[in-house]
Amino acid sequence: MQDDSFSTTLPDPRDPAWEPRADHMRAALRQAQRAADQKEVPIGAAIYFGNRLIAQAYNQVETLKDPTAHAEVIAITQAASALGDWRLTGCVLYVTKEPCPMCAGAIILARLPMAVWGVTDPQRGGAVSRFQILQNPAMNHRTEFRAGFMEEECRTILSGFFKELRSS
Protein backbone atom coordinates (compact mmCIF):
# COMPACT_ATOMS: atom_id res chain seq x y z
CA MET A 1 0.00 0.00 0.00
CA GLN A 2 1.40 3.39 -0.98
CA ASP A 3 1.89 6.11 1.65
CA ASP A 4 0.14 9.14 0.11
CA SER A 5 1.60 11.51 2.70
CA PHE A 6 4.96 11.14 0.92
CA SER A 7 3.54 11.78 -2.52
CA THR A 8 5.99 13.19 -5.04
CA THR A 9 3.35 15.61 -6.33
CA LEU A 10 3.68 18.17 -3.56
CA PRO A 11 2.13 21.61 -3.58
CA ASP A 12 4.78 24.15 -4.58
CA PRO A 13 5.15 26.72 -1.79
CA ARG A 14 6.63 29.16 -4.31
CA ASP A 15 3.32 29.17 -6.18
CA PRO A 16 1.50 32.46 -5.43
CA ALA A 17 -1.68 30.47 -4.75
CA TRP A 18 0.03 28.51 -1.95
CA GLU A 19 -0.99 29.54 1.56
CA PRO A 20 0.67 28.67 4.88
CA ARG A 21 -1.37 26.51 7.24
CA ALA A 22 -2.31 27.46 10.79
CA ASP A 23 -2.15 23.85 11.99
CA HIS A 24 1.45 23.64 10.77
CA MET A 25 2.41 26.81 12.66
CA ARG A 26 0.65 25.45 15.75
CA ALA A 27 3.13 22.56 15.72
CA ALA A 28 5.96 25.13 15.91
CA LEU A 29 4.12 26.98 18.70
CA ARG A 30 3.84 23.75 20.71
CA GLN A 31 7.59 23.35 20.38
CA ALA A 32 8.12 26.96 21.50
CA GLN A 33 6.07 26.21 24.61
CA ARG A 34 8.28 23.19 25.33
CA ALA A 35 11.30 25.51 25.15
CA ALA A 36 9.69 28.00 27.55
CA ASP A 37 8.84 25.18 29.96
CA GLN A 38 12.55 24.31 30.03
CA LYS A 39 13.61 27.96 30.50
CA GLU A 40 14.91 28.16 26.92
CA VAL A 41 14.14 31.11 24.63
CA PRO A 42 10.76 29.97 23.29
CA ILE A 43 11.36 29.44 19.62
CA GLY A 44 9.87 26.40 17.95
CA ALA A 45 10.19 24.98 14.46
CA ALA A 46 8.32 22.39 12.40
CA ILE A 47 9.15 21.09 8.93
CA TYR A 48 6.51 19.64 6.67
CA PHE A 49 6.96 17.52 3.57
CA GLY A 50 3.63 18.18 1.90
CA ASN A 51 1.17 17.65 4.75
CA ARG A 52 3.41 15.30 6.68
CA LEU A 53 5.23 16.59 9.75
CA ILE A 54 8.76 15.21 9.43
CA ALA A 55 10.62 17.31 12.01
CA GLN A 56 9.91 19.48 15.00
CA ALA A 57 12.25 21.07 17.50
CA TYR A 58 12.71 23.86 19.98
CA ASN A 59 15.68 25.91 21.16
CA GLN A 60 17.98 23.85 23.37
CA VAL A 61 21.01 26.15 23.67
CA GLU A 62 21.01 26.16 27.49
CA THR A 63 20.04 22.51 27.89
CA LEU A 64 22.72 21.20 25.52
CA LYS A 65 25.26 23.97 26.26
CA ASP A 66 25.49 24.35 22.48
CA PRO A 67 25.26 27.76 20.79
CA THR A 68 24.10 26.09 17.57
CA ALA A 69 21.17 24.23 19.17
CA HIS A 70 18.55 26.52 17.65
CA ALA A 71 15.13 25.13 16.80
CA GLU A 72 15.63 25.56 13.05
CA VAL A 73 19.01 23.79 12.96
CA ILE A 74 17.78 20.85 15.02
CA ALA A 75 14.64 20.54 12.87
CA ILE A 76 16.68 20.69 9.64
CA THR A 77 18.89 17.87 10.92
CA GLN A 78 15.81 15.79 11.81
CA ALA A 79 14.18 16.45 8.43
CA ALA A 80 17.30 15.48 6.51
CA SER A 81 17.45 12.25 8.48
CA ALA A 82 13.74 11.56 7.91
CA LEU A 83 14.06 12.05 4.15
CA GLY A 84 17.52 10.52 3.80
CA ASP A 85 18.72 13.61 1.94
CA TRP A 86 20.18 16.95 2.99
CA ARG A 87 18.27 18.67 0.21
CA LEU A 88 14.88 19.56 1.67
CA THR A 89 13.49 20.82 -1.63
CA GLY A 90 9.93 19.57 -1.07
CA CYS A 91 9.62 20.97 2.45
CA VAL A 92 8.34 24.03 4.26
CA LEU A 93 9.83 25.33 7.51
CA TYR A 94 7.49 26.93 10.04
CA VAL A 95 9.20 28.83 12.86
CA THR A 96 7.85 31.16 15.50
CA LYS A 97 10.48 33.91 15.05
CA GLU A 98 12.53 35.11 12.10
CA PRO A 99 15.66 32.98 11.79
CA CYS A 100 19.00 34.38 12.95
CA PRO A 101 21.90 34.59 10.45
CA MET A 102 23.16 31.10 11.38
CA CYS A 103 19.74 29.53 10.90
CA ALA A 104 19.08 31.48 7.69
CA GLY A 105 22.36 30.08 6.34
CA ALA A 106 21.30 26.55 7.30
CA ILE A 107 17.95 27.11 5.55
CA ILE A 108 19.77 28.09 2.36
CA LEU A 109 22.20 25.17 2.60
CA ALA A 110 19.28 22.74 3.10
CA ARG A 111 17.62 24.11 -0.08
CA LEU A 112 14.34 24.75 1.72
CA PRO A 113 12.09 26.48 -0.82
CA MET A 114 9.89 28.23 1.78
CA ALA A 115 10.16 29.51 5.34
CA VAL A 116 7.17 30.81 7.28
CA TRP A 117 7.56 32.70 10.54
CA GLY A 118 5.47 34.63 12.99
CA VAL A 119 7.57 37.38 14.56
CA THR A 120 10.06 39.42 12.57
CA ASP A 121 13.28 40.37 14.39
CA PRO A 122 14.39 43.83 13.21
CA GLN A 123 17.48 43.83 15.46
CA ARG A 124 18.96 40.39 14.77
CA GLY A 125 16.90 38.82 12.00
CA GLY A 126 19.07 36.97 9.53
CA ALA A 127 16.42 36.08 7.00
CA VAL A 128 15.28 39.49 5.77
CA SER A 129 15.23 42.12 8.54
CA ARG A 130 18.79 42.87 9.59
CA PHE A 131 20.52 40.62 7.07
CA GLN A 132 18.90 39.51 3.83
CA ILE A 133 20.34 36.01 3.65
CA LEU A 134 17.29 34.17 2.26
CA GLN A 135 17.07 36.32 -0.87
CA ASN A 136 20.75 37.27 -1.22
CA PRO A 137 21.78 37.11 -4.90
CA ALA A 138 25.28 36.02 -3.88
CA MET A 139 23.88 32.75 -2.53
CA ASN A 140 23.47 29.69 -4.74
CA HIS A 141 19.88 29.16 -3.58
CA ARG A 142 17.04 31.44 -2.53
CA THR A 143 14.30 30.70 -0.08
CA GLU A 144 10.90 32.33 -0.38
CA PHE A 145 9.30 33.42 2.86
CA ARG A 146 6.06 34.48 4.48
CA ALA A 147 6.61 36.73 7.51
CA GLY A 148 4.04 37.68 10.13
CA PHE A 149 2.01 34.48 9.91
CA MET A 150 0.12 34.00 13.21
CA GLU A 151 2.26 36.83 14.55
CA GLU A 152 0.09 37.55 17.59
CA GLU A 153 0.33 33.97 18.93
CA CYS A 154 4.07 33.81 18.28
CA ARG A 155 4.70 37.21 19.89
CA THR A 156 2.63 36.32 22.96
CA ILE A 157 4.77 33.33 23.86
CA LEU A 158 8.01 35.31 23.39
CA SER A 159 6.91 38.39 25.30
CA GLY A 160 5.42 36.28 28.11
CA PHE A 161 8.68 34.39 28.51
CA PHE A 162 10.80 37.54 28.71
CA LYS A 163 8.32 39.28 31.03
CA GLU A 164 8.50 36.33 33.42
CA LEU A 165 12.30 36.22 33.13
CA ARG A 166 12.61 39.92 34.04
CA SER A 167 10.28 39.55 37.04
CA SER A 168 12.22 36.65 38.57
Digit-coded pLDDT (tens) for 47-61: 999 999 999 999 999
Residue 17: pLDDT band (50, 70, 90) is: low
- For residue 155, give Cα distances in angstroms to 95, 106, 139, 152: 12, 23, 30, 5
Q: Give the pLDDT score at 165.
A: 82
pTM given for the model: 0.90
Gap between the Cα atoms of 69 and 114, Å rounded: 21
Among the listed residues 19, 72, 98, 153, the single catalytic one is 72
What does pLDDT average to over the chain? 92
Mean pLDDT lowest for which of 1-10, 66-75, 97-106, 143-152? 1-10
Q: What does the pLDDT average to over 79-94?
A: 96
Q: Give the pLDDT score at 15.
A: 72
Q: Is 72 a catalytic residue?
A: yes
Report yes or no: 58 and 64 within 8 Å, Cβ to Cβ.
Answer: no
